[in-house]
């Protein structure tokens, strides 16, 4: 292979009908700064517009319904006001030459009655209490036992995803990512540590994967497969997640998703530094050989690891989280191999402009 043929992290990339300016993706990042009614506000517009030099921005998760909310001040995509708020975000990103997908999110059991309409219980595939605490308006509170969804309720949640996908179109996004990772509702259906059902949505691999595949089918019917991605976290123990055979499970998922011809598969490697906590460890990069389409990786990549991953064909695209929080011009900093701003973890979740829109650019 000649140098001209070696894939370059900074080169344009064809993602379905879209042409990305580079292969550096801004990962979805919960920041807890939505306005009243969980509506994106002017501060969010500025934040996303600052980062429009990314090849693609994947927005923070937006809950598909009020019951899908798990944290304070996270934006939704189920009301007219939220759609209007997101329209301001997408317009600002597009004005700066950027592209942005919306991440569709339902947290399932990772919530608390104080965050939900009329103080109802969080829902889940099964009544399995997660270890840990919920982040609420009144501070940290112990998780509560979720309510197991009845079989005839699941179709309604799939319709919420379908409507949210339509709302994302109205809001001006370039596509959507289905959040099937990190211990939230779809992931809870996938893993046998949280799915104890004995109906058509539980038991063997085919049944546990059914909810994800039906959600994907609904979203693809709205957007077309070339505007839809899916995110998975096969070795992530976050939110008290585990599976007895994650390699078999996620290999099955990746193979089943191939049938949709989606625009990408986004696999986060989070959990590699805690081998075995989410179940018998396997190398998440093995899914690269199962998935037949564009492959995006994520978690802890620095400049050199990302350049190598693309050049060696381990991934087509690399998503960055914390580096994009602290460096709105991360692409240019990586291109020049310039020093990076250090992130302030104390300002990751909640607050105002500090630690959100006030990180300096190189020219500053």
Q: Is residue 360 part of a domain?
A: no
Query: Is 363 within a domain?
Result: no
Q: Does residue 358 form part of some domain? A: no
- 188 found inside a domain: yes
Where residue 100 sits, what CATH number does that domain have?
A: 3.20.20.70
Distance from C-alpha of 153 to C-alpha of 149, rounded to nearest angstrom? 6
Q: What is the reported pLDDT for 4?
A: 52
CA distance 180 to 107: 10
- Going by C-alpha positions, the residue among 103, 104, 87, 83 that lies closest to residue 95 is 87
Our CA angle for 350, 81, 100, nearest 5°, is 65
Helices (H), the chain: 42-50, 80-95, 154-170, 185-190, 205-223, 246-257, 303-311, 322-326, 330-336
| Residues 6 or more apart whose Cβ sits within 8 Å of residue 287 | 232, 234, 250, 251, 254, 265, 267, 295
Identify how many contiguous H helices and E strands the chain contains and give both numbers.
9, 14
Look at residue 174 in the predicted model and tell me its pLDDT: 99
Please tell me the total count of domains within the chain: 1
Q: Quickly count: other Cβ atoms within 10 Å of residue 16's Cβ.
A: 19
Helix (H/G/I), strand (E/B), else coil: 177:
strand
Catalytic residue among 184, 201, 295, 301: 184
Instruction: Report yes or no on 11 lying in a domain.
Output: yes
Predicted pLDDT of residue 3: 45
Quick one: pLDDT at residue 128?
Answer: 98
H helix intervals, 260-342: 303-311, 322-326, 330-336
For 228, the enclosing helix (H) or strand (E) is strand 228-232
What pLDDT was estimated at residue 2?
Answer: 40
> Considering the domain boundaries, does residue 357 fall inside one?
no
3-state secondary structure of 234: coil
Give residue 181's domain range: 3-347
Q: Which residues of 320-354 are buried (b: 16+ CB within 10 A; e: fewer)?
A: bbebbbbbbbbbebbeeeeeebebeeebbbeeeee
- Does residue 359 form part of some domain? no
Q: What is the pLDDT of residue 5?
A: 74
3-state SS, residue 340: coil
pLDDT per position in the chain (364 positions), as tens? 444 578 999 999 999 999 999 999 999 999 999 999 999 999 999 999 999 999 999 999 999 999 999 999 999 999 999 999 999 999 999 999 999 999 999 999 999 999 999 999 999 999 999 999 999 999 999 999 999 999 999 999 999 999 999 999 999 999 999 999 999 999 999 999 999 999 999 999 999 999 999 999 999 999 999 999 999 999 999 999 999 999 999 999 999 999 999 999 999 999 988 888 999 999 999 999 999 999 999 999 999 999 999 999 999 999 999 999 999 999 999 999 999 999 999 999 999 999 999 999 998 8
Residue 356 in any domain: the answer is no
- Measured between alpha carbons, how far is 248 from 337 in angstroms, rounded to an integer? 39
Residue 184 annotated to the active site: yes
Whole-angstrom Cα Rg for the chain: 19
């Amino acid at each position: 292979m000649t140098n001209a043929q070696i894939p370059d992290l900074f080169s344009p990339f064809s993602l379905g009908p879209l042409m990305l300016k580079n292969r550096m993706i801004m990962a979805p990042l919960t920041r807890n700064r939505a306005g009243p009614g969980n509506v994106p506000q002017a501060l969010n517009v500025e934040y996303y517009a600052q980062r429009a030099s990314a090849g693609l921005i994947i927005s923070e998760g937006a809950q598909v319904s009020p019951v899908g909310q798990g944290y304070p001040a996270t934006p939704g995509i189920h009301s007219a006001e939220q759609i209007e708020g997101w329209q301001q975000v997408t317009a600002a990103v597009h004005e700066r030459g950027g592209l942005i997908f919306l991440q569709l999110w339902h947290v399932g059991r990772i919530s608390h009655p104080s965050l939900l309409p009329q103080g109802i219980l969080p829902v889940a595939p099964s009544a399995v209490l997660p270890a840990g605490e919920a982040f609420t308006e009144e501070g940290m509170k112990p998780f509560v036992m979720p309510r197991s969804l009845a079989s005839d309720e699941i179709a309604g949640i799939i319709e919420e995803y379908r409507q949210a996908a339509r709302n994302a179109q109205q809001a001006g996004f370039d596509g959507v990512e289905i959040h099937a990772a990190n211990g939230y509702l779809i992931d809870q259906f996938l893993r046998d540590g949280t799915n104890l059902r004995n109906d058509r949505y539980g038991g063997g691999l085919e049944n546990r994967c059914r909810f994800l595949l039906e959600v994907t089918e609904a979203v693809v019917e709205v957007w077309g497969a070339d505007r839809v991605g899916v995110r998975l976290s096969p070795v992530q123990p976050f939110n008290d997640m585990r599976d007895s055979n994650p390699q078999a499970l996620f290999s099955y998922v990746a193979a089943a998703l191939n049938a949709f011809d989606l625009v990408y598969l986004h696999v986060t490697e989070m959990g590699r530094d805690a081998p075995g906590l989410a179940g018998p460890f396997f190398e998440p990069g093995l899914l690269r050989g199962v998935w037949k389409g564009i492959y995006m990786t994520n978690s802890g990549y620095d400049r050199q690891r990302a350049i190598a991953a693309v050049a060696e064909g381990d991934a087509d695209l690399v998503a960055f989280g914390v580096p994009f929080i602290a460096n709105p011009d991360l692409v240019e900093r990586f291109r020049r191999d310039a020093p990076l701003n250090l992130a302030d973890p104390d300002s990751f979740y909640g607050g105002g402009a500090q630690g959100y829109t006030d990180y300096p650019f190189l020219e500053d």
